[in-house]
């Protein structure tokens, strides 16, 4: 049996051997040796190779070792590695999870590493998203919002006037609904063109918080008295992130959920099941998507004219913000260098260069005037929405759980569950989790 | 002796007994996977939650309801199919092979396949319903139809397995018994009911328990097809445990559900062994 | 009367075959079509739904080029073969000890093993994960198969086969002066080849089809096994592409179906014996 056990042990070595030293022997250029920093990031997301190369060029004594996972598994992977004895130094993670990670002590606060005035320069939504108990845990890399894309050829054929490009003229949901109905082709089982494309976010079912919770939040009003349910509806969770009861399931939220449900069940202008590439394949007139969607339409011409109009609203306009971002693991053995990496990539010329090359919405207000595209249609719609209407997804140290439970609730409502009962249930299920 | 049995027992201790012990311990704590070092001893609070929380009660209910549905559909289908295949048929081996194909296909592939078969807009089943003039159905997006849809899928998947077991049971029945019955003037249905079925009691018990256990372990269908919805109607326990631990970060609670679930399955399995040990006289 | 019955019989037979085969036919045919063609051909239903006259390999090449299906197939093969090999290597000696070596507590050992046979592994995921991660094996292929190689089912099946082997054989070898290792290796093993083959096939089947545990223990794409690749054949932020998903399902299924067609009797026997779990 001994050879067998030996074989097993040999197989296990590659796994255990990662505990090697991260610092090489000193060289002439690097008297302290070359340090290897471990970075965990989602596939097809920043930082991109050119950013890494640039950083390594400026810091010849640091080498980046990169591990990639699919975006969908990122959160699980981070929680696993955080608990293990050998975490990466830098992680790229989904911004709304900042508070979760901060609360469980996974992330390092970065305040002392950031240049003076950095916080004041941050877009407000990013500042809220990445702060926990007064400390900033991530400088942020990019932002995005959702807007309504439309197939201009189809709209013209249906006799719908060109939708507005200005935020102050944005459609209400009632106006949008009229357009969806007019543009839809076919009825019942034989719809050939849907008014609104199904969600491509999350698990390919309706309800994903990022896209669909604003349908409820827009029925709220941040200027109403703080104790009123209209006010609470707008925020969808208490400021301390510990109560959903009375914030998520207000009468106004139920009104919003009822409208949301109507799109699937009474007006039937959007399908309950996903259709891949519905917009590009001319199976839907409108779709809600992010600024990244523009690049796809520009690079692969869908063969029709398209346009973008601001996110419709009911009472108060609102868009969800948040994107993936950089953080430093609290357990990193090379905190200063890891923090330098995170900060260098997010400030100064590097931040500007990133926004210019990738055409993303920057997180620093000072970068906006320097990128002409951000002032021009269609990207200006996303940028203005971010600055004027942008709110983080409900901030909470238990956002991951909030996200899952509310997404399930909205999905069920889209499928036909009673909006009030289902929202009440979600608030009830959430309560013990949030208040822990 | 130690060289022969040692590795086996060592691995078993490390990967079965140790985790079971840990699970029982974890079920008494409140903690997060993100930070397992920070844990609070909560006595039996998690168990109290398992037995009082409506979501958990629903998970137990739908899981056992699902198992009952699978047993109630698979057993008669497979029995009739086996009786049919046991006759003198051309190409019996071919049919048996075809029926058995889903058994060697993975649960993931089957769940994926059926997600698309049952898709409301472009799925094959709705298309077939339209073709014969029936109304299209919502299937997995409907609270009332989701669970029956998954039962239908299990029927498709497991019938082959049950049929093969019944078939080998049927083939062990001495031909004289059947012949004697037909001489007594019994028709086919009577013969199946009065003669064949009682002789297959042992096989039937085995198949029933097997189907129950397979159904209780179902994980891929909720994960891939429904996410446990709509409204928790397909939130099977295996999936509920996974969600509680990994998505909702409540491994203590998940462990408590696991312990209860494990005890129930253990009880069913022991009942199986007891029943199987009993003798039926041929 | 007679011909009518035969025709009815054939119709029933065809209906049964169609019920079980149609989903496969649709999936496989569609995996050779572009997405829009899949949608077009399914409504209304016709022979085109199940056959394509202009097959394209686009979906498969996408899977191999962008989704790492090739790597996932290789990983699955490595994991399955290792699991088969180690299971045999661990279970066969244990079965030998239980049947050929007399020692106190043999029955207790067997009962202890049988108990684990009945545990639903689904409920063990969290602590098992902690255990394997504690050994530093999370996100490794070893971590995928190592918990299962001490298979109670394997022991059960081999013990049965070893029991049936006449003891006169090893008595004869013993008189010739052979020790336990020699008897095990050159007398017992060669005589239970069928049982070993059955076990190997069933373990291969379980291992290749395993999903929940690999999902829990693996995370990086380069370590993904084929079942995970199928379940997640979706680019981030995109709805599943039907053609690619079907191609993935086809890839994950074909090796097993081929194996099954050639070695049917082992499968049926082994699965019938497998009972509670894999």
Of B76, B70, B100, B82, the residue nearest B209 (C-alpha) = B70
What is residue B142's DSSP assignment? Answer: S
| Residues B74 and B162: beta-carbon distance below 8 Å | yes
Q: Structural domain boundaries of chain B?
A: 57-277
pLDDT value for B176? 75
Q: Chain C, 68-87: which have a CB under 8 Å from a chain B CB?
A: none
Which of the four pLDDT bands, split at 50, 70 and 90, describes residue C235? very low
- What pLDDT score was predicted for residue C48? 83
Looking at the partner chain, which of B227, B249, B250 has a beta carbon nearest the beta carbon of A203?
Answer: B227
Assess whether the previous peptide bond of A47 is cis (omega < 30° from 0). yes
What is the pLDDT confidence band of residue C273, given thresholds at 50, 70 and 90?
Answer: low
Cβ-based neighbours of A270, under 8 Å, separated by 6 or more:
A180, A194, A195, A196, A197, A198, A206, A263, A264, A284
**Which residue ranges of chain B lie beneath pLDDT 70?**
1, 273, 276-282
Count CB-CB contacts under 10 A for residue A242.
Answer: 16
Cα distances (Å, whole numbers) of residue A154 to A184, A279, A381, B9, C145: 9, 11, 22, 69, 54
Contacts of B152 (CB under 8 A, 6+ apart): B73
Instruction: Identify all chain C residues contacting A12, using CB atoms and an 8 Å cutoff.
Output: 135-137, 140, 142
Q: Does A36 touch chain B (CB under 8 A)?
A: no
Q: What confidence category does residue C100 fall into, taking pLDDT thresholds of 50, 70 and 90?
A: confident
Rounded CA separation C75/C87 (Å): 18
Neighbours of chain C (3+ CB pairs under 8 A): A, B
Whether C34 and C117 map to the same domain: the answer is no
Instruction: Please tell me the predicted confidence (pLDDT) of residue A231.
Output: 97
Same domain, C78 and C114: yes
Are residues C89 and C37 part of one domain? no
Inter-chain CB proximity C219 and A73 less than 8 Å: yes
Q: Is the peptide bond before B230 cis (omega within 30 degrees of 0)?
A: yes
| Contact between residue A226 and residue A235 where contact means Cβ atoms under 8 Å apart | no
pLDDT at A409: 96
Instruction: Give me the domain span that covers residue C38.
Output: 2-56
Q: Which stretches of A171-305 are assigned E, i.e. beta strand?
A: 194-196, 284-290
* Burial of C215: CB neighbours in 10 Å, binned 0-12, 13-18, 19+: buried
Chain C hits for B99, CB-CB cut-off 8 Å, are 16, 20
Say what the pLDDT of residue A154 is. 96
- Chain C residues in contact with B257 by the CB 8 A cut-off are 123
Interface test with A, best of B10, B14, B26, B249 (most A CBs within 10 A): B249
* Residue C147: CATH number of its domain: 1.10.3720.10
The tens digit of pLDDT for each residue in A27-76 reads 888 888 899 999 998 877 889 999 999 999 999 999 998 877 777 768 77
> In this complex, which of C119, C123, C209 lies closest to B241 when CB atoms are compared?
C123
Residues C72 and C181 in one domain: yes
Question: pTM (2 decimals)?
Answer: 0.87
The pLDDT score that the predictor gives to residue B273 is 67
Q: Which residue of A has its CA nearest to C133?
A: A84
The C-alpha of A192 sits at a distance from chain C's nearest C-alpha, in angstroms, of 11
The verdict on A15 touching C (C-beta cutoff 8 Å) is: yes
Per the model's pLDDT, the better-predicted residue between C177 and A82 turns out to be C177
Would you call A115 helix, strand, or coil by DSSP? coil
DSSP, res C56: -
The CA distances from residue C93 to A1, B51, C85, C192, in Å, are 9, 44, 13, 13
What ipTM was assigned to the predicted interfaces of this complex? 0.86
- Residue C1: predicted pLDDT: 53
Distance from CA of A133 to the nearest CA of C (A): 31
Q: Which CATH architecture has domain A146-321+395-434?
A: 3-Layer(aba) Sandwich (3.40)
Rounded to an integer, what distance in angstroms lies between the CA atom of residue B124 and that of residue C146?
40
Q: What confidence score (pLDDT) does residue B279 get?
A: 44
What is the per-residue DSSP string for C107-145? HHHHHHHHHHHTS-GGGGHHHHHHHHHHTT-TTSHHHHH
Q: Which stretches of chain A drop beneath a pLDDT of 70?
A: 1-21, 73, 83-85
E-strand spans in A321-375?
Answer: 324-328
In a domain, C217, yes or no: yes
Tell me yes or no: is domain B57-277 CATH 1.10.3720.10.
yes
CB pairs under 8 A between A and B: 79
Whether C23 and C79 share a structural domain: no
- Do C24 and C90 share a structural domain? no
The domain tally of chain C equals 2
Please check whether residue C62 lies inside any domain of the structure: no
Polymer length in residues for chain B:
282
Tell me, yes or no, whether C108 and C220 share the same domain: yes
Q: What is the pLDDT of residue C278?
A: 32
Q: How many CB atoms lie within 10 A of CB A188?
A: 8
**Which residues in chain C (169-228) have CB-CB distances under 8 A to chain A?**
219-221
CB atoms within 10 A of CB A367: 21
Class of the CATH domain delimited by A2-138+323-391: alpha beta
pLDDT at C260 over 70: yes
Q: Are C187 and C213 in contact (CB under 8 A)?
A: no
Contacts 24+ apart (CB under 8 A), A331-336: A331/A82, A331/A87, A331/A106, A332/A87, A332/A88, A332/A89, A332/A90, A332/A108, A333/A22, A333/A89, A334/A22, A334/A35, A334/A37, A334/A89, A335/A89, A335/A108, A336/A113
Q: Would you state the pLDDT for residue A84? A: 65
Residue C266 lies in a domain: yes
- Taking CA–CA distances from B145, the nearest residue in chain A reads A415
Contact status of B120 with chain A (Cβ, < 8 Å): yes
Candidates A79, A271, A416; nearest CB to B34: A79
Length reported for chain C:
278
Residue B245 DSSP symbol: I
pLDDT score for A71:
75
Domain boundaries, chain A: 2-138+323-391, 146-321+395-434
Contact C140 A14 (CB under 8 A): yes
Chain C interface mutation, best of A71, A80, A288, highest count of C Cβ atoms under 10 Å: A80
- How do residues A388-404 score in pLDDT, each as one tens digit? 999 999 999 999 899 99
- Looking at the fold, whether C132 and C263 belong to one and the same domain comes out as yes
């Amino acid at each position: 049996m001994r050879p067998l056990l030996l074989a097993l042990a040999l197989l296990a070595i590659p796994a255990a051997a990662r505990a090697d030293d991260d610092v090489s022997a000193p060289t002439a250029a690097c008297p302290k040796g070359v340090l290897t920093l471990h970075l965990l990031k989602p596939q097809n997301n920043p930082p991109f190779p050119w950013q890494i190369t640039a950083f390594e060029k400026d810091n010849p004594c640091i080498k980046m070792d990169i591990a990639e996972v699919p975006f969908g598994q990122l959160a699980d992977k981070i929680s696993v590695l955080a608990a293990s004895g050998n975490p990466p130094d830098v992680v790229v993670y989904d911004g709304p999870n900042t508070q979760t990670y901060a609360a469980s002590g996974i992330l390092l606060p970065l305040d002392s590493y950031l240049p003076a005035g950095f916080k004041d320069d941050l877009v407000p939504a990013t500042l809220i998203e990445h702060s926990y108990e007064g400390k900033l845990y991530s400088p942020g890399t990019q932002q995005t919002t959702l807007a309504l894309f439309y197939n201009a050829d189809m709209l013209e054929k249906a006799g719908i006037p060109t939708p507005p490009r200005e935020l102050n003229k944005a459609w209400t949901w009632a106006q949008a609904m009229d357009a969806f109905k007019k543009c839809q082709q076919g009825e019942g089982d034989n719809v050939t063109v849907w008014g609104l494309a199904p969600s491509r976010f999350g698990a390919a079912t309706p309800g994903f918080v990022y896209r669909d919770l604003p349908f409820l939040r827009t029925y709220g009003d941040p200027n109403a008295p703080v104790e009123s349910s209209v006010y609470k509806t707008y925020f969808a969770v208490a400021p301390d992130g510990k109560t959903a009861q009375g914030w998520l399931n207000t009468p106004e939220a139920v009104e919003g959920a009822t409208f949301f449900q109507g799109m699937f069940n009474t007006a039937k202008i959007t399908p309950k099941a996903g259709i891949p590439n519905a917009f590009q394949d001319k199976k839907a007139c409108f779709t809600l998507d992010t600024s990244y969607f523009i690049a796809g339409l520009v690079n692969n011409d869908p063969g029709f004219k398209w346009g973008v109009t601001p996110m419709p609203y009911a009472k108060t306009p609102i868009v969800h913000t948040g994107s993936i971002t950089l953080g430093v693991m609290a357990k990193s053995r090379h905190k200063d260098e890891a923090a330098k990496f995170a900060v260098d990539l997010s400030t100064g010329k590097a931040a500007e260069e990133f926004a210019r090359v990738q055409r993303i919405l920057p997180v620093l207000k000072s970068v906006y005037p320097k990128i002409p595209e951000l002032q021009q249609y269609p990207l200006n719609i996303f940028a203005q929405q971010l600055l004027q209407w942008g709110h983080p997804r409900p901030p909470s140290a238990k956002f991951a759980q909030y996200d899952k439970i509310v997404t399930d609730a909205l999905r069920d409502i889209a499928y036909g569950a009673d909006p009030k009962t289902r929202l009440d249930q979600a608030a009830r299920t959430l309560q013990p989790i949030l208040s822990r | 002796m130690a060289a022969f049995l040692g590795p086996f027992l060592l691995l078993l201790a490390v990967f079965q007994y140790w985790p079971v012990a840990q699970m029982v311990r974890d079920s008494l704590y409140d903690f997060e996977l993100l930070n397992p070092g920070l844990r609070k001893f909560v006595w039996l609070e998690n168990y109290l939650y398992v037995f009082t929380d409506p979501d958990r009660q629903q998970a137990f209910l739908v899981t056992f309801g699902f198992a009952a549905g699978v047993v109630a559909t698979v057993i008669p289908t497979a029995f009739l199919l086996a009786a049919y295949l046991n006759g003198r048929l051309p190409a019996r081996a071919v049919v048996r092979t075809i029926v058995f194909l889903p058994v060697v296909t993975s649960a993931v592939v089957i769940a994926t396949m059926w997600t698309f078969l049952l898709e409301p807009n472009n799925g094959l089943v709705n298309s077939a319903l339209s073709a014969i003039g029936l109304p299209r159905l919502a299937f997995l997006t409907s609270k009332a139809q989701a669970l029956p849809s998954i039962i239908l899928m299990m029927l498709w998947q497991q019938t082959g397995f049950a049929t093969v077991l019944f078939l080998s049971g049927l083939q062990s029945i001495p031909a004289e018994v059947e012949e004697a019955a037909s001489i007594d003037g019994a028709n086919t249905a009577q013969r199946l009911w009065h003669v064949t079925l009682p002789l297959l009691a042992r096989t039937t018990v085995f198949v029933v328990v097997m189907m129950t256990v397979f159904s209780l372990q179902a994980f891929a269908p909720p994960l891939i097809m429904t996410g446990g919805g709509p409204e928790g109607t397909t939130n099977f326990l295996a999936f509920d445990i996974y969600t509680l631990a990994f998505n909702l970060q409540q491994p203590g609670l998940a462990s408590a559900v696991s312990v209860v679930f494990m005890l129930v399955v253990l009880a069913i399995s022991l009942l199986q062994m007891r029943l199987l040990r009993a003798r039926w006289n041929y | 009367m007679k011909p009518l019955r035969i025709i009815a019989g054939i119709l029933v037979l065809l209906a049964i075959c169609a019920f079980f085969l149609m989903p496969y036919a649709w999936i496989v045919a569609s995996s050779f079509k572009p997405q829009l063609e899949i949608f077009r051909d399914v409504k209304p239903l016709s022979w085109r739904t199940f056959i394509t006259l202009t097959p394209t390999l686009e979906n498969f090449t996408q899977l191999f080029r962008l989704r790492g299906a090739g790597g996932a197939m290789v990983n699955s093969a490595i994991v399955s073969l290792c699991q088969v090999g180690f299971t045999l290597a661990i279970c066969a000696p244990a079965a030998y000890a239980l049947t050929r070596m007399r020692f106190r507590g043999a029955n207790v050992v067997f009962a202890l093993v049988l108990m684990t046979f009945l545990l639903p592994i689904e409920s063990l995921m969290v602590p098992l994960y902690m255990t394997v991660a504690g050994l530093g094996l999370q996100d490794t292929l070893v971590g995928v198969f190592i918990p299962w190689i001490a298979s109670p089912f394997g022991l059960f099946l081999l013990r049965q086969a070893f029991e049936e082997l006449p003891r006169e054989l090893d008595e004869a070898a013993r008189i010739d002066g052979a020790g336990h290792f020699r008897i095990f290796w050159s007398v017992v093993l060669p005589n239970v080849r069928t049982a070993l083959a059955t076990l190997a096939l069933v373990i291969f089947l379980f291992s290749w089809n395993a999903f929940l545990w690999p999902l829990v223990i693996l995370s990086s794409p380069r370590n993904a096994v084929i079942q995970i690749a199928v379940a997640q054949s979706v680019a981030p932020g995109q709805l599943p592409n039907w053609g690619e998903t079907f191609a993935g399902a086809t890839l994950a299924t074909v090796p097993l179906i081929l194996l099954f067609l050639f070695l049917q009797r082992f499968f049926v026997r082994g699965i019938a014996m497998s009972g509670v779990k894999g």
